[in-house]
Amino acid sequence: MSIDVLVVDDEELARDLCVEIISGMGYTAVTSESGAGALEILENGHIDIVISDVRMPGMDGIELLKTIKHKYPQTDVVMMTGYGTIPASFEAIKLGAYDYITKPFAVEDFKHMLQRLVQKQELTVENRLLREQLKTRQGFAGLVGTSASMQKVFRFISMAAPKRQPVLILGESGTGKELVARAIHAQSPWQDKPFVPVDCGALTPTLIESELFGHVRGAFTGAHQARQGLLASAQGGTVFLDEIAEMPIELQTKLLRALQEHQVRPIGGNAWTRLEARIIAATNQDIESAVERGSVRKDLYFRLNVLSIKMPPLRERKSDIPALVHDFIDCHGGDEVHVTGISYDSMTRVMTYNWPGNVRELENCIQRALVLGSGPLIQVKDLPSPVLYQMMKGKGQEEILTLRDMERQAIMHALDATGGDRAQAAKMLGIGKTTIYRKLKECGLVNYLALRKTA
């Protein structure tokens, strides 16, 4: 990605040093010795990043920042300041500056700051492309993903949709099994027929038979009128039996008979109704183990397992997370929500978390951030505690956070606990006041502190 950086400083030596570093990193650098000259450059060409001194004759850096944020909101601004103007830098952060760097600065500090900012720029471009892809995405009932595992799911949906054979969908809770079932129905020749979901784990054993097969009037106590069962009500559409492994074993026998004979009979009735609905079943259990235990009938398993697909957990398709995040922002945002995207640091946290609750947990996380966030981007402080502080655990292993990440989390936790009071946070962490100032910059938490103060 090509990055154009504008350096604004009335001191020639400072401009030359910045240009040397920026050019050495492979980016394009242009300079101006005044705020007015910088605005001319911005008006005549595209600039991604502006690095400006605070104190300059004529238009100072704060006024330049205000103008850039008003006229060129997509351009990121970093302020350069001497030790005597640090308060002005905090004001600049509140006005929308990305960060500040203190002169004289270490070359490595400058490079680190610029690298983080370039990563943010790249993420912004990626976010825009993802939104464009989401706007043009067709079908698949809300399923989102470009990973190899999701492409396999999409191919399965396309293959299974035109067929009448039963489908078995396996996968952990929250992976989107019902979305797959709805996508199969939506792309089938019977999409105009009903889609009837049944949660086998939520119905009591005394009611589930009546729910599935129906009953005639007087069939049992409380049956004051006849009721059509869900299997018959699908009328040639699709019945989705979620958590099929939770179905009582005696009812599995009746379901198997209905599938084999393609007909159902209501409780207490004599008349048979032809079963024309397609059956899609799902479970989050290891169904083969359930068959071995005897909690799922083997013949029912074979009847349902004609076509099967296993939904991948989110931790195995993390490349899909950015698209999912923006899809959820678009779906759950509205006129009353002022959040339109997610910050680089927040996306980093989201990408490194292991999501034991899968896509459902991610969706809940984004919904929460939309409620708590003040916009325009979801910030780290808007994310739930598990995403911020938990170590990631994979199957049979535990991934340890880096020391820098642990240090960063500890500082954020202390700032949250003390209401943003740096002195109290330093005391809680057992470090000096000057140390916490340095750590805030090293860990890229200057923005977090400013936003914490204004929240």
> pLDDT (tens digit, 9 = 90+) per residue, 249-278?
888 888 898 888 888 777 777 777 788 889
State how far the Cα of 219 lies from the Cα of 157, in Å rounded to an integer: 40
pLDDT of residue 216: 78
How do 4-8 and 28-32 pair as beta strands? parallel
Q: Mean pLDDT across the stretch 43-49?
A: 86
What whole-number distance in Å separates Cα of residue 443 and Cα of residue 423?
17
pLDDT computed for residue 179 by the predictor: 93
Quick one: pLDDT band at residue 454, thresholds 50, 70, 90?
Answer: very low
Chain segment 386-419, per-residue pLDDT in tens:
887 754 444 444 445 566 666 777 777 777 667 6
pLDDT value of residue 17: 93
pLDDT for the residue numbered 136: 42
Q: What is the pLDDT of residue 313?
A: 95
Q: What is the mean pLDDT of the segment spanning 289-307?
A: 92
Average of per-residue pLDDT across 414-440: 75
pLDDT score recorded for residue 449: 54
pLDDT of residue 395: 40
Residue 362: pLDDT band (50, 70, 90) is very high
pLDDT over threshold 90, residue 51:
yes
Mean pLDDT, range 95-103, rounded to an integer: 87
- Predicted pLDDT at 392: 42
pLDDT the model gives residue 126: 65
pLDDT over threshold 70, residue 451: no
* Mean pLDDT in residue range 92-121: 87
Q: Which residue has the higher pLDDT, 133 or 339?
A: 339
Q: Which contacts of 293-299 are long-range, i.e. CB under 8 A and separated by 24 or more positions? A: 294/249, 295/245, 295/249, 296/244, 296/245, 296/249, 296/252, 297/249, 297/252, 297/253, 297/256, 299/256
Q: Check: pTM over 0.85? Answer yes or no.
A: no
Query: Average pLDDT, stretch 282-308?
Result: 93
pLDDT at residue 211 is higher than 90 = no
Residue type, 374: S
- Asked whether residue 354 carries a pLDDT value surpassing 60, the answer given is yes
Distance separating alpha carbons of residues 242 and 161, to the nearest angstrom: 18
Mean pLDDT calculated for residue range 69-91: 80
**pLDDT at residue 240, rounded to an integer:** 94
Tens-digit pLDDT profile for residues 143-187: 888 888 988 998 899 889 888 889 999 999 999 999 999 999 998
Q: What is the mean pLDDT of residues 52-65?
A: 91
The mean predicted confidence, pLDDT, of the chain is: 82
